[in-house]
Each structure stands twice: as structure tokens, then as C-alpha cells.
Structure 1
């Protein structure tokens, strides 16, 4: 029994080290630190206790298998967390196909230090095999099981006492992992994911009433911008991984985005728009712009709920021909099926482009060739049309051939950031060429262009390079503000204006429809018009955090935005409840498929 106990204790220490050193968890208080340190002990004792159910001659080998599975489990979460700043969920594990096309990205996340993960497997495994089988008496088994169960129950009770709503919300996975351990979290997540489909089965017309009541409270106000783009074609350009800090930034005296810098002076430019995507990343951004609903708390709506009824862009643009252009495979993020549900007329994907050694990238086709080959398809569209372009080149790990690089490499301490700036410049040049081609083809003047960043490109793992580039301090507020993404709405002939209105990607939908002169009040949506003077300046993030002009709530701590200093949590209580309400109602719509009753 001692062997098993010592192995469980070792993996408890290993887990704690991974959480603090590798994942760099930073709980806000003493209680949270204690929970994070001790919460994994009980589950690990129970886990390694499974070896008791096997014949004694198999004990060493069973323990080695359990050690391997534990190490693999921890390492998988670490790799995912390095880029996504989140923990794996069952829906994401079931979407592993979305990783296959991103092998370069995955390899970049590995580190030579990761070899430390397997040292204990070799050393302890060799020791177990050398010592051979061992005997455990029934009394020892009972003592072991009682201790393991007792420790687990005490930790769960402490977590429940500290956070009574912890198991009612799966928004903040960092908090759940801190409170009950990475191991118990995974079982909780599996149970949560399995039972989630029951909401659709149990839902009826009455389930939509609370949401309708919430949405009905918003009475849209028409502004001078209403209908300014009425009847025009609409072209959405998703700027892959582009964060707002690159706008007007320079490397060795050269602008990173010369074309976007110029375009924003001739456009409605929203400089205070936040990335609200969750685990679905690009697909989440698309989903918010299309539907005005928040993404799910785990996985991607595109994969988990593609057969739901939605009020997508084609629903409100019934007189438009709607087409999506994307240089990746049709099945990535399950786009082909989801676009059918949203009502798109056409999907031009990787199979429709001529891809060769000169223009291919790991995920499909480079942006310049992508836009160039898309023009003939655009010329076949009937006006008015809505075209959506999803770019690819500026994707982690931001690799670019020397021949395509026109910006000098920055000299920050993070190579990922240095490469990122060169691929952003490439994307900027690609968009400039697209605009020039559309002008030459006579397709520019009668079109409204909507360009927006889909999600962050630089995760916290590499953010030191951004701090160096911008000469900024590393604070909770600077991290959050670096997650802003650009939004440019360009209407040829309209005078440009910069808006510092606080908003999120979910607000793009209502803003675009306001400019098109479309009435949207009859649709269930959490999108707000960024052009309205009375726009509620509140941004809810998928994990339940939020930001307002006065306060930021992040990782359980309330900050003043004018000083970046922590303040009493009571200042953020109202905002936390508001974020919780918005996310809960949006989840009800999606998980209950409530729009089918409309």
C-alpha cells in the first residue's frame, strides 16, 4: 500500500508543480491557493488505488499504465493551455479533427523542457519492475480507500463552501480547476457535456419567454447612420488573429499595417472592441457576427449545435445572394453543415481553388492568391450580395516564406511575436490588393466593407513580446486591452470617424444592420449597435469576466480601469450578475434550440 501511496503523493506534487510553474495559475486569494494545492490529492489517491483491483503480479504494470495516462492527461492540458489559455473540454476532445490541419501550430507549442514530464515514468517504472509484485491486505485496502474518499469529500465540501455556485456554472474553467483539481474537473466536464443535450429535449415554447422578455427591454434607437449603406453589397473580411495593437504600430520605423492605417482614416473605425471568442476561436467569431448570440462555454457551436435553428445573416438579408469564401477544407469547424443551417447560398472552399507549392500554407491557400482567385467567383454573384472572406495566412505559428516577407523582423524577446508582425503585414498587403482589384473590376463603389479581427493571435504565453513592442507594463488591464481586435466599416465616399465606444464582437451584427437600414428588434440577439449614443458599454467574456469603462473583472479580482489597481469585489458584483445573466440566457437559446419556436 505504501508504494501506491508514495506514487500518488509524487503525482500530487507533480500536478501542483505543473499548475504553478507550467500553467502559471495565479489564484486570487489564500483559500484558492490552498484549494489548488490540495485538491488533486484525493482524486490521485483514488486513481492509483484502481491497481488494487488487479492480481498482485500485475500491480507494477497497472501502476505504470496509470502513471502514463496521468502524465499524458496533464501534458495534453498543458499544451492546450499554452495557446488557448483554457483547459480541454469533452467537446474539444471530440473536435480533434480540427487539430489535424494545424500540425505546425501544435509542434510550435512544444518545449525541450517537456522532456521532464517523462523522467518520472522511466525512473519509477524501472523501480516498480525491479521490485516486482507486492501484496496488499483487505484491511490496508479499506484504510487506503477510506483515506482517499475522505480527503476527496473534504476538498469538495471546502470548494462548495467557498463557491456555492461553482457546480451550477461551467463558465470559468480556471476557477473550477483551482477549486476541485484538474482531475475532478474533467469528470465534472464530461458529466456536464453529456447532460447538456437534454436541454433541447426538455425545452418548449415557454422556455423562450424569459429570453424574449430580456431582449424586449432593448428598444433600438435610429441614429443618423441608419440606412447609410442601404441596398449596398456587403463584404465581410475576417482578419485572422489580428489584434488591435498592430494598428499604427511600427517596427524599426516601418508601419506594420500601412493599408489598414490609411483605410481607418476613411472608415468607421472602432478602436475599443474586444475579442469574445471562446474555445471555437474563428468559428465563435463567425457565430457571434452571424447570430448576435454568445459562443458556448465549451467547444464550438458550429460542431455541437449545427442543426439548430438560427437567425443568421442570410435570414435578415433575404434579398441578398450570400456566399462564404474560405481557403481551408469545407469540414474544418464543421463549416459546411453550419452554413447550410444558417442559410448561406454558396460556400467556396479549398477544393475550388488552384493550390500549388507556391501558394499553399499548412491550412490551405495563402491570402494573396486566395483573394485573387476569389474575384472571378465574386463577379458571378447577383447584386445585392453578401460575401464573407475568411483569411488564413496570419495563423499561429505565423510562418512566412522569406520571399513574402516585407517587414523587418522585430527584436522582441519572443520569436512568435516577431513572426506575427510579419504575417500581419502580409495580410495587410493582401487586403490592399483585394481593394485594388475590386476597384479595377468596378465592384468597389457600391459595397460596404466590414473588416474585423476574429480572435487574439498572441496568447499570454508570448505576451512579453507585445509589452516590449508597446513599452507597456504587464498588468491584468494591459493583458485584457491587448485582446482588443480591430473593426473597420468602410463605405466608399463616407467620411471616416473613430469610435472609442466599448463593445465586443457580438455587437458587429447590429451595427452592420443599422447601417443597412434593417430592423432587427424582432430577433433574439444580444448584439448592440455601436453607433448608438445610448449603447450599454459592457462587454461580457465567455468565462464570466467582464469589462466596463470603470471596472475590469478578471480571474476573480475586481480592478479599476483608470489605475489597474485591485478594489473591493463589491464594485464588480453587479457586473458579474449581468454577465452571468447574458451568458445564461444565450446558453438557453442555443442548448434548448429555442429559436425553432419563433
Structure 2
């Protein structure tokens, strides 16, 4: 019964991409070896105790299956030890999200336990009090290991290097099973801890060689074009590229962002992809600030945010050009371990929930509503010494896409999918919020001396909503290529010295930092960064995904399928094409592997940049009282903030909002 329900879950709740006789066979049998091993533990005990132990073991395995069903439905991935360890950092409203995800059929995970208890209570199954012979119990344990070994060999024959190369977690579950995936994940976490402990200075040489071999020169047309300007990073939560210029019932979902996208001073990239894995938003921030990939499992910000050494955007801009840095977030500072990771990255200030006035109606979902958040950020923005680097993280356009009626002024889509349909409503609210903030930048005068960057952190609609995605895109159905293209997110840079245009260069979040540094006139050829300047003529235009897939200007790889990127047609590569594809794959694998070496081994502690001092985290304090005191002290020294430029007058009244909660 346990194996049967697991197989049903494989087929109905997970998208494992099973093809061919071997894969189908392995999917049927892969629950058996670990089930024999774990249930077999109870056979070493006698009487009622063995029966109770079997039920407890069944319950624990069932709960693991149940938890993965829920997690996979929203995140298209399986739970990992890194995610479980980081639950305390991301738990705000998580329970509420799971209630939204939950379906009655999910409880099939426990159906065998209920049946077994009933059979025991009604004595259909009678308890045999005689002890099971130890040698037979031992033989079952041995049998389970033999079956595991046989299963692995068959799987590895079908998918070479299954556990030694960077693969999607779907592969491990498809070939080996959910319990084996959990065991392998625990082993990986142990190996990661050992890697850091055993890392040496020499380990950095291979990484530097890879970086040097793939270095690109800045485009002289753009290098230093926006030197010395303030930088605003507007983090568009769960915002996908398809929303740009998208209409529902003839109405634009995002009219303000559309206007910004097409502005005469905006360079907008329409072939830009998110590259996140399990870390989702934290992965996006890791790439954006460090040009380092997130981890294959868990969140680097959670697992390595506090102890690792980084050379991140805030500290680079401070060391190279005297920038002040600040992050703004309308929720608890512990979310994704930001309170520790931001210190490691060198953020001078972190304005989290305690800095804002709160009322129950000000918050929804994962934190403060965007309109209220932007308004309450102004008093701190106007006090930042210039030039500054400021990141504002929006929250309202976050699953489960809830919005109260008085803020809902846009029609939902009509796909019939309750998760998907309200997505455009919260996206519209986010757009209105950005419009109000952009109007403030213009009126306060900040826009003249600022670069404004908008980017989407990750998908809002996961690939598990295929019928709804097809309807959104006006298609009868979607294939793997369509889903890969659906993972595009916005990336646009607006600056007064830029000639605006839509740029078709293929890139991803890993490329943001090098692109931005070059625009600000800062060379990165001596830094450890895995992205490339998207404005460089030497850019290879390869976008690696965390699972080893990729998109390039020529080819798109999803799983084992290759597509022509321009046409979307599946291709069967010629020998010449295979050579090109293999070269791209090698670059992708090497890029991910070397980035992982840096994070797991904390290798940047060995990397010394000229005239650059590592961040001293002990000098950074995000306590509100300490922050406000520091702002006053900095103002006395520099006199460069917006208030000073405005003749000592506040600009708070320059921000206008129609938020009903503030009327």
C-alpha cells in the first residue's frame, strides 16, 4: 500500500518527465528498497512493539511524502535539508500559503495508515506476538541494500553521472525515489560542511582560471556612462516578463512599468531569465548582489549568509566609489536570513519592518503593502548620503496573490485556475505602487541623478499550471520550450545618459552586477563574478539554469531535449551541432561547479582585491536607534543627502499615494 500510494503521488503530484520503459519501470519499483529497509527496522522487535514501530515509520514516511506534495505544487521542487533548516527564516505566513495549496486528494499520503489501523482494530490483521527471527530481519535489510544498489546501477546506466554531476532533483526522485533523494541530500549537506573546513588558498586558482578564460571587456560606448549616480534597485516580487504590455479585457496590467520599459532612457532586456533554484528570492538576491549562483539545494543566504566572506555590490561600490548602501523590506529582518547576509555583503543600513508604522490593514500576505511601503521608505531615502545604492523589495505580488477589495481595481484572468487568475490583480497593484514611487523620484529631483533598475526575482506562476499558462499565452497547450521561455523576467535600466532601446541579448540575473558596475565606470576584471556585462560585444549569451539546463542564442536545452531557440522547434542535433551544444554544456557545468566551490568553500576569504577591505560585520548594526544615530552623524560629516540638497526641507510631501488605508 505504501509503494502504491507513492507511485500514485509520483504520477499525479509531481512532474518527473518519465519517458521510456526503463524510467517507467524504475518509477514503479523505486519506493520498494527504502520501504523494505525502513519498515524492516520494526522486524528486529517483538509483538505489539513491532506493529507500532511499523505504523510510526509509515507515518513519518507518509508525512515526508505529504510535505513534498505541497511544496512541489508551488515551487516545482522537492524539500531539502537546507530549506528545512531555513524554515524559521521564511516561515512568516508560510502556513497560510500551504492552506491555499492544500487539496483534499493530498491526504492519500495517509490512507494506508488509516486502513491498517482499522484492520488492526477490527482484528482483520491479528497481532503475532512471536518474535520475527533476527536472521530473517537481517536478510531483509541486506535485500533492501542489494535492491538499492541494483536500482542505482540501472538508473546510472540510463542517466550517466546521476549523483556526480549537477542535475535537477526531479532526476534523483524519478530514478531512485523520494527517500533516497532525502538521504543523498543529507549527504550533500555533510559534504558541503566538510568542503568549507578543508578549503585552501590553492582551491581558488581553478576558479580564477575559469573566470579569466571567460572574461569579457566592457563596451566603451557604455562604460562609465552613469558614473557617480545613485542606484535604485526595485525588486519586483514574482514578476514575469509576459506581464509587460499584457492586457486583460483590453486594459494594460502594468501601464506604469510599460511606460518605463519603453522610455527613451531605458535599456530593457526582453530575453532575460531568472535563474533561481530552491532559494527563490534569496537566490535572485545572491546573483544580483554577488554574481554568484544560488545553491542546488536550500538557500545560500540562509546556510552561508552569516559566516562567508563576500565581495558584493554594496561593499564594492563603497570601496570603489564611496557609496552608501541601504536595503528596504517591509517584513521581518530574519526573512531569508537577511539581517545576517546583508551585513556580510556590506549594507550600511537595513530598514525592515520595525522602521515603519504598522496597522493590521497595512499588511497582507508576506508583509507591508507596496504603496504604504514605498511611502514609508521616503523619510529614510531622503536621509541617505549620496551617492547611494538602495534596494527596495516589494511584497504584495507574492503567492497566494491576495488583495483586499478596496485595493482591487483590476479584473482577474479567466483561466479557471484559482492560483493564476488573481496574479494580474496583485501585479497591477504593484505597478500602481511603482508609478507612485517613480513620480516621487521625478518631483523630488532624485531622478536626475539616479539610475533606476527594475528586475523580476523569479516566476509568479510555476510550470505546474500548464493549462492556465497556455490560456494566458493564447495557446492550446505548452511544451517544455514554452515553459522555459515563460521563465523570462524583466530587467531594465533607466539613466539620463542612456539611449533607450529594447535589447535582445540573452542573459540572466547572474549578469546584473557586471553590467551595472561597468555602467558606473567600475572594472570587474579582477573580481570573482560568474556573470557577464550584457552590454559587452563579447558576451557569449549563454544563460545557465541551476539544474544544468540552459538557454543560449542558438539552442535551448530542457532536460534531455534540445530546441532551436529562434523557432522553438525540437531538433535532433547533427555532429556539428552536438559539438557546439557540448561546448555550451561544459561552460554551464563549469560555471555552476566553480560558483559552488566559492560558496561551499568560502573561497573569497582567500581572494584579496587591491585597495579593498573585507567587510567588518562587527561595525554594522541594524538596530533602529543605532541606525538613526548613524544617519545624523553621517549628515553632519557629508551634507550630501536629499534634504540638504533641498535646502533643509523634507521631500515627504512630494510622495503622493491613493492608498485607501492612508486616507
TM-score normalised by the chain length of structure 2: 0.86
CA RMSD of aligned residues (A): 1.7
Q: How does 1:23-422 map to 2 (within 5 A)?
A: 23-97=14-88, 98-129=90-121, 130=123, 131-134=125-128, 135=130, 136-138=132-134, 140-217=136-213, 218-266=215-263, 267-306=266-305, 307-318=307-318, 319-422=322-425
Q: Once the 2 structures are TM-superposed, how far is the Cα of residue 443 of structure 1 from its aligned partner?
A: 1.6
Contact 2:197/2:601, CA 8 A, preserved across alignment: yes
- Rounded Cα–Cα distance in structure 1 between residues aligned with 2:353 and 2:467: 35
Q: How does 1:456-467 map to 2 (within 5 A)?
A: 456-467=459-470
Q: 1:42 to 1:568 in 2, by over 3 A?
A: farther
Q: Once the 2 structures are TM-superposed, how far is the Cα of residue 66 of structure 1 from its aligned partner?
A: 1.6
- Rounded Cα–Cα distance in structure 2 between residues aligned with 1:528 and 1:474: 31
- Rounded Cα–Cα distance in structure 2 between residues aligned with 1:538 and 1:68: 45
Secondary structure at the residue paired with 1:450?
strand
Q: 1:574 to 1:13 in 2, by over 3 A?
A: farther
Q: Once the 2 structures are TM-superposed, how far is the Cα of residue 398 of structure 1 from its aligned partner?
A: 0.3
Which residue is equivalent to 2:433?
430
- Rounded Cα–Cα distance in structure 1 between residues aligned with 2:209 and 2:159: 29
- Rounded Cα–Cα distance in structure 1 between residues aligned with 2:504 and 2:285: 23
- Rounded Cα–Cα distance in structure 2 between residues aligned with 1:149 and 1:230: 62
- What do residues 146-180 of structure 1 show as CA deviations (whole Å, max 9, x unaligned)? 43333222112222333342222354211111221
Flag structure 1 segments of 5+ consecutive residues without an equivalent: 1-9
Q: Runs ≥4 in structure 1, deviation > 4 angstroms? A: none
- Rounded Cα–Cα distance in structure 1 between residues aligned with 2:518 and 2:134: 72
Contact 2:83/2:278, CA 8 A, preserved across alignment: yes
Which residue is equivalent to 2:656?
none
Contact 1:284/1:300, CA 8 A, preserved across alignment: yes
Alignment of 1:543 with 2:547, yes or no, is: yes
Residue range with higher mean Cα deviation, 504-513 or 120-129:
120-129
- What do residues 49-72 of structure 1 show as CA deviations (whole Å, max 9, x unaligned)? 111122222222222112211211
- Give the length in aligned residue pairs: 589
Contact 1:450/1:490, CA 8 A, preserved across alignment: yes
Alignment of 1:504 with 2:498, yes or no, is: no
Contact 1:287/1:293, CA 8 A, preserved across alignment: yes
Contact 2:261/2:268, CA 8 A, preserved across alignment: yes
Contact 1:57/1:132, CA 8 A, preserved across alignment: no
478, 485, 495: which one aligns with 2:482: 478
- Rounded Cα–Cα distance in structure 2 between residues aligned with 1:547 and 1:494: 27
Contact 2:66/2:107, CA 8 A, preserved across alignment: no
Secondary structure at the residue paired with 2:232?
strand
Secondary structure at the residue paired with 1:223?
coil
Contact 1:475/1:564, CA 8 A, preserved across alignment: no
Residue range with higher mean Cα deviation, 214-223 or 352-361:
214-223
Contact 1:223/1:531, CA 8 A, preserved across alignment: no
Q: Once the 2 structures are TM-superposed, how far is the Cα of residue 143 of structure 1 from its aligned partner?
A: 4.7
Q: Once the 2 structures are TM-superposed, how far is the Cα of residue 188 of structure 1 from its aligned partner?
A: 1.1
Contact 2:219/2:537, CA 8 A, preserved across alignment: no
- Rounded Cα–Cα distance in structure 2 between residues aligned with 1:293 and 1:28: 34
Residue range with higher mean Cα deviation, 490-499 or 251-260:
490-499
- Rounded Cα–Cα distance in structure 2 between residues aligned with 1:488 and 1:506: 14
Q: Once the 2 structures are TM-superposed, how far is the Cα of residue 191 of structure 1 from its aligned partner?
A: 1.1
- What do residues 282-334 of structure 1 show as CA deviations (whole Å, max 9, x unaligned)? 11111101111111111111111122111101222110110000001011100
567, 572, 581: which one aligns with 2:572: 567
Residue range with higher mean Cα deviation, 468-477 or 19-28:
19-28
Q: Once the 2 structures are TM-superposed, how far is the Cα of residue 534 of structure 1 from its aligned partner?
A: 2.1
- What do residues 422-479 of structure 1 show as CA deviations (whole Å, max 9, x unaligned)? 0000000000000112222222211100000001010122242222022133111110
Which residue is equivalent to 1:596?
605
Contact 2:5/2:108, CA 8 A, preserved across alignment: no
- What do residues 476-512 of structure 1 show as CA deviations (whole Å, max 9, x unaligned)? 1110111000011111364320011111111111111
Q: Once the 2 structures are TM-superposed, how far is the Cα of residue 568 of structure 1 from its aligned partner?
A: 4.8
Q: 1:580 to 1:493 in 2, by over 3 A?
A: closer
